[in-house]
Structure 1
Amino acid sequence: MAKVSHLLLLLSVVCIAATAKSAATKSGGATNFIKNSCSATNYPTVCVQSLSPYASKIQQNQRQLVQTALSVSLANAQSTKGFVSKLGRSKGLKAREYAAIKDCLEEIGDTVDRLSQSVQELKLHGQGKGRDFQWHMSNVETWVSAALTDENTCVDGFSGRALDGKIKASVKGRVVNLAQVVSNALALVNRYAKKH
C-alpha cells in the first residue's frame, strides 16, 4: 500500500511539473510574440511594458494583441483625462495655464471618445476578411490616428515660456506617455489590417 501511495505522489508531482512547464512555455511564447510585434512600433520598450502584463490573455493572437493595445490606450487616456481634470481644479493657476488645461482636457476627451469607438469597432467587426473587414479597420485606423493628433494638439497648447513650470511639465509628461501608447496601438492596428 505504501508503494502505491508513493507512486501516486510521484505521478502527481510529475503532472504538476509538466503542467507548470507547459504554462511557462506558453507564457514565454506570448511574451516573445509581444516583443516581436512591438519591434514594429515607434516606442517598442513602452509597447512591451504596456502589453506584457496581458501576455496570458494575448497568447499569440494578433487580433487579441491589437484589441489589448487599444484597450490599454483607452485606459491610459481615461487616466490622463482624470489627471488633467484634477490639475484644472488646482488653486493658483495662471489664466493661460487654466485655458491650456481646459483645451487639453477637451482634446483628451476626444481621444477617449475615439479610442472607445475603435475598441468597439474592432470588437464587433475585427474578424474576417474582404472589403467589409477593410472598411471597419479603416475606421479604427482613422479614429486612432485622430486620437494621436489630439495629444499633439494638447501639448502644443502649452508652448511658450509663459507656461513653463510644474503644470506644463506634469501635463506634458502624462500626455507624451499617452501619445506613445496610442502611437504603438496605431502601428499594431495598421500591421493587423495589412495582414488581412
Structure 2
Amino acid sequence: MESINFFKGYGKVNPLDDHPNPPPNHRRRRRIIAVTLAVFLTLIIGSLIAALIHESATESEPSQLASNSAEPLKTVCAVTRYPDSCFSSIAPLNSPPSNNPLRFFNLSLHASSLEVSSLKNLLTEPTAEPAMKDCAELFDDAASQLRRSVELICVGSGEKVLTEMTISDLQTWISAAMTDQETCLDGLAETGSTALGEFKLKVQKSQEYMSNTLAILNNIESLFNKFGLTMP
C-alpha cells in the first residue's frame, strides 16, 4: 500500500511550486513604484485643484474690487439731491479710485465747470437765437464763478484747504452760478423762445451737477468723519 501511495503521489507538483514567492528585493521595488505613483498622482491632483482655485479667485477679484471702489462715491452721492447724476458725472473722472470727500468735491466741481463752459459756447454760436445770445453774459459769469471756486481750493502744500471762509466763499460762488442759469431760463421764457425747451434740458443737467457739488460741500465735514479722515 505504501508503494501504491508513493506512486500515486509521484509526479504531482505542489501548486505553490509553480508560483514561487518573489524575492524580497523585487517586492520592495514594487512597493516603491506604487508609493511613487501615488505621490505623483496626489501632486498632479493638488496642482489642478490649486489652479482652479486661483483662476476662480482671479476672475472674481476685479469685479469685487470694482464694487468696493465704487462704494465711497455712492456714499458721497447719497447726500445729494441727484445721486444718479452725481455718480455718473464723477465716476469717469475718479481714476485711480479714491475715498477722499475733497477729491469727490473737486471732481464734481470740475464736471460742473465743464458743463457750464459747454453751454456758454453753445450760446455764442452764430446760429443761436438772439434771445439765447442774451444769456451768454450770464453763462460767462457762471463759468467765471466756477473757475474762481476751482482756483480757491488749489492751495500750497501744508496750507489748510477747507477753512470756514473758503467753504463760505465756495457756497456763495456756486450758488451764484446756479442763479445765473435760472435768470437765463426766466428770460428765455419771457421772450417765448422756441429753443427754450431743448436748451432747458441741457441746463437742467448743469444745474444738477452744481446742486450735487453744493450738497457735497455742505456735508463735507460729516463725510470726512464717516470715512474716518481728517479735514484738510
Does the pair score TM above 0.5?
Answer: yes
TM class by shorter chain equals 0.7 to 0.9
Name the aligned partner's letter for residue 105 of structure 1: A
Q: Which has the larger radius of gyration?
A: 2
Equivalent position of 2:137 in the other structure: 106
What is the correspondence of 1:29-178 to structure 2 with a 5 Å cutoff? 29-86=68-125, 89-90=126-127, 93=129, 98=130, 100-124=131-155, 133-160=163-190, 163-165=192-194, 167-178=195-206
Let me know the Cα RMSD of the aligned residues: 3.0
The whole-number CA distance in structure 2 between the counterparts of 1:40 and 1:127 is 29
The whole-number CA distance in structure 2 between the counterparts of 1:177 and 1:127 is 36
TM-score, structure 1 normalization: 0.75
Instruction: Show CA shifts across 1:68-100 (max 9, x none).
Output: 0101111111111112222xx217x4xxxx1x3
Figure out how many residues of one structure are paired with residues of the other and give that number: 176
Instruction: Show CA shifts across 1:107-154 (max 9, x none).
Output: 111111111111111222798769x71111211111111111111111
Name the aligned partner's letter for residue 133 of structure 2: K
Name the aligned partner's letter for residue 187 of structure 1: A
The whole-number CA distance in structure 2 between the counterparts of 1:60 and 1:21 is 22
Unaligned ranges ≥5, structure 1? 1-6
The whole-number CA distance in structure 2 between the counterparts of 1:117 and 1:68 is 15
The whole-number CA distance in structure 1 between the counterparts of 2:78 and 2:201 is 23
**CA distance 1:151–1:58, shift in 2 (3 Å):** farther
The whole-number CA distance in structure 1 between the counterparts of 2:167 and 2:65 is 29
Bigger proportion of residues as helix: 1
Unaligned ranges ≥5, structure 2? 1-46, 225-230
The whole-number CA distance in structure 1 between the counterparts of 2:115 and 2:73 is 19
Instruction: Show CA shifts across 1:139-188 (max 9, x none).
Output: 1111111111111111111114x5242x2223212112111111111111
Compute the displacement of 1:30 (Å): 3.0
**CA distance 1:18–1:117, shift in 2 (3 Å):** farther
The whole-number CA distance in structure 1 between the counterparts of 2:193 and 2:110 is 32
Equivalent position of 1:4 in the other structure: none
The whole-number CA distance in structure 2 between the counterparts of 1:58 and 1:135 is 29
The whole-number CA distance in structure 1 between the counterparts of 2:109 and 2:174 is 9
**CA distance 1:173–1:41, shift in 2 (3 Å):** same
**Which structure has the higher relative contact order (CA within 8 Å, separation 6+)?**
1
What is the correspondence of 1:11-26 to structure 2 with a 5 Å cutoff? 24-26=63-65
**CA distance 1:42–1:73, shift in 2 (3 Å):** same
Equivalent position of 1:182 in the other structure: 210
